[in-house]
Structure 1
Amino acid sequence: MSSKKNDDRKSVVVVGGGSAGVNIARPLSSQLDATKFKLILINPRPFRVLLPATLRMVVSEVDNLGTTAQALVPFDKLFHGENGTFIQDSVRSLNEKVLTLGSGEQVPYDILILCPGLSWADPIAFPESTEDVKTYLSRSREKFAGAGSYLLVGGGAVGCELAGELKDMWPEKEVTLVHGQRLLFNDTYPDRFRKSAADHLTGRGVKIHLGDIVEDFPAEAAPATVLTKGADLVLKTTGATHPNTDFLNSLDADALTPAGFVKVKPTLQLLNHPNIFAAGDIVEWKEQKQAIKAGAHAKIVTQNVLNYISGRSLKNYSTGFEAILVTNGKRGGYSYFGVLWGLIFGAWLTSLLKSKSLLVPMFRKESGLR
């Protein structure tokens, strides 16, 4: 292939190597004509952090999850036939033709796919370099092991799953979960599931305070130094802090909601930019933010990118039923599937589907690994 022909290829750029980005970049690498298109994936870390595995990973060394052989999944096998390029960097800004990276490098694009995901608070606020991640994990495990009691502020999936991991490791230590709503989780899920979740946790000795908030939680203090309600270690477990979309302000003043989520058409294209698509947790859509939703976005975006290139009609995205699988340590858990009358399952099925493996084999396979 001559260099001129190579330069004439159109650029398809994917920003973000999480669930959505991986499940777009990999199929596109096999379906795009490599003589006409060059595919680029940009991600600030040299690996994908498997979010479902992070809470067990930061608590202990169980299953050695904090390695590239397990839940830190590299991108070296992602592209089919090496029909793609990986760039480790962040995006600082963009215009209608070019991305400017944190390093200052400029990357032109013809089609852009935005999947940068969300930022998370401690204890799953992972840094970007491999060495910094190792240090973060070591300090996190020391912090958890050294505390005699824990207060988790937030009773959604993060708080509930972390409580289960702590009880797996230290069943004799006191774990308290505080949640501002009348029941755990939110009203996406029926009361009977939310009550069942509480029963699973209290059955392991977790203390739950509902309809309560921690008013004196210092926003900037390191959790290890906080003493609130008598707990040794206090952690804010309310979930993600914000979407990683600040760089989009340079493109379009109307691209984002006030909370930073990306406004999209049902085709998952940006409102004013038909050659820019968005997928995953950054999308403003009435549904819960979950890896399963990101995977569904990825299928639509992959097909719509190919349709856009060939001039065919694009497909609309629609949310399927809501479902959630919540681990309660390695052998426990509880699940809800919003089909029929709403199906609720306990430890056996949830452990089989998620708690035991944390979906690590499935996610590694998505990246072309075993």
Structure 2
Amino acid sequence: MNHFDVVVLGGGYAGMTAADRILKAETGASVLLVDAKAEFVERIRLHEIAAGASEGHYPYASRMEMLGGSFLQGEVAAIDPDRSTLLVAAWDGQQAEITYGSLIVAIGSRSNRHMVPGIKQNAICLDSVAEVRGLSEWASTSRGRLVIVGGGLTAIEVACEFAEQYPEIEVVMIGADELRPSSLPGGYDPAAVRHLRGTFDRLGVRFVEKALVSAIHPQQVKLQDRETITFDRCIWAAGFVVPDLAQRSGIATTASGRIVCNPTLQSVSHRNIFAAGDIAEVHAEPGGLCRMSCAAGRPMGEAAAASVINVLRNEAPAAFKFGYVFRCVSLGRKDGLIQFVDLTDRPMKEIWTGERAARWKEYVCRRTVAGVGMAEDLEAPDTPPVAATSQQALMYLAEG
């Protein structure tokens, strides 16, 4: 049985950030990162990769070795929180039993493939590079129809990406609601929604509004009380769920499976277990309940690392402090939308659109890879004089 002072489950934005920060703190602790993948995946770029953009390669093993930690590729089959033990089905077919002093659970979320029948068999989800391979080849040689189920930001990004890159194909979005300020996650200013509608018109994206999907059949999306929409390829982008690992392991969770945390990101049921990212249910000051997002995930990874470092040094963990600044949406390579928000994530009047927003969205994506410790830091792009709210965003990006 192998023992590590700290084990981090999940190498996404939250988990890799936590592992990076703990190892850089030079506490002398042994740190193990466990992930089913061999490489860090830029999830916020999966719509770009699906449309044919080059994927970055960021191997966990070499990065953890360089930092002085260890990496194990495998699926966590079970956690025994009372014995501080993990059972991992390793990539080589072996089972590894591991004990830990502190555990950070950062296993993220994935597409909800059980919302309606037929998703797993007939649709593609934006969960991994492997799943989206082949979409760009099809789009480049086809004049067919791509249907995207979902009316949220992921659906918008992938629809615009394909419509811009492949104008010969027909792109159709199906949303359960109409496109309006209050229907988008968190709410958006009316000017932002007008820009989205104008972008759809410019790119030729057809948006089927207020349509409920009842099933996905081969080459057909069945709508409740409406017509069936045919497709050549279908992408499911209509919601995320978290794995049931924590629930199965007896860790205190919400009904949806998120780990209930105190303000220091410690599990309320097991004090040597911490959670970060989409799997964590935590209220932060002043931001409130942290939504499932990269925007909250990476800061949560830093905070979980800080709490564990304090534990390693026999100090009390500090509460997680976090507030929102903006939300950014890519609308192809030449357009974007940045909605500025207050610290509690409520939309403000200021938005950025067009090439300026696209440039900053690209910077945010690149800055995020640097922030998790997988790339060198970079300078912010030049930008014209901006209002106070935007200046706050520039400061956030520079520091974050």
TM bucket (normalised to shorter chain) is: 0.7 to 0.9
Aligned residue among 114, 130, 141 for 2:136: 141
SS of 2:134 mapped into structure 1: helix
Once the two structures are superposed, the pairs formed by residues 1-370 of structure 1 within 5 Å of their partners are: 11-34=5-28, 37-60=29-52, 62=53, 64-65=54-55, 70=56, 72-79=57-64, 81-96=66-81, 97-103=84-90, 104-120=95-111, 122-126=124-128, 133=130, 136-145=131-140, 146=142, 148-183=144-179, 186=184, 188-192=186-190, 193-215=192-214, 217-218=215-216, 221=217, 228-240=228-240, 242-244=241-243, 246-252=244-250, 255-285=252-282, 286-321=289-324, 323-339=326-342, 341-355=348-362, 359-360=365-366, 362-363=368-369, 366-370=372-376
1:3 aligned residue:
none
Q: Does the CA contact (< 8 Å) of 2:298 and 2:372 recur in 1?
A: no
Higher strand content, 1 or 2: 2
Distance 1:147 1:236 in 2: 20
Q: Does the CA contact (< 8 Å) of 1:40 and 1:84 recur in 2?
A: yes
TM-score (normalizing by structure 1): 0.82
Cα displacement string for residues 304-349 of structure 1 (whole angstroms, at most 9, x for unaligned residues): 1112222323222244125211111111111101039442110222
Say if 1:48 and 1:90 are closer, same or farther in 2 by CA, change over 3 A: same
Q: Residue 343 of structure 1 aligns to which amino acid in structure 2?
A: E
Distance 1:249 1:191 in 2: 38
SS of 1:105 mapped into structure 2: strand
Say if 1:319 and 1:206 are closer, same or farther in 2 by CA, change over 3 A: same
Distance 2:169 2:66 in 1: 51
| Structure 1 residue runs without a partner (length 5+) | 1-6, 128-132
Q: Which runs of 4+ in 1 moved over 4 A?
A: 224-227
Say if 1:211 and 1:344 are closer, same or farther in 2 by CA, change over 3 A: same
Residue 365 of structure 1: CA displacement? Answer: 6.3
Residue 74 of structure 1: CA displacement? Answer: 1.2
Q: Does the CA contact (< 8 Å) of 2:47 and 2:157 recur in 1?
A: yes
Cα displacement string for residues 75-128 of structure 1 (whole angstroms, at most 9, x for unaligned residues): 24434854100000111101121100124210100100000111236232327x
Percent identity reads 21
Number of paired residues? 339
Q: Does the CA contact (< 8 Å) of 1:115 and 1:282 recur in 2?
A: yes
| Structure 2 residue runs without a partner (length 5+) | 114-123, 223-227, 283-288, 377-400
TM-score (normalizing by structure 2): 0.77
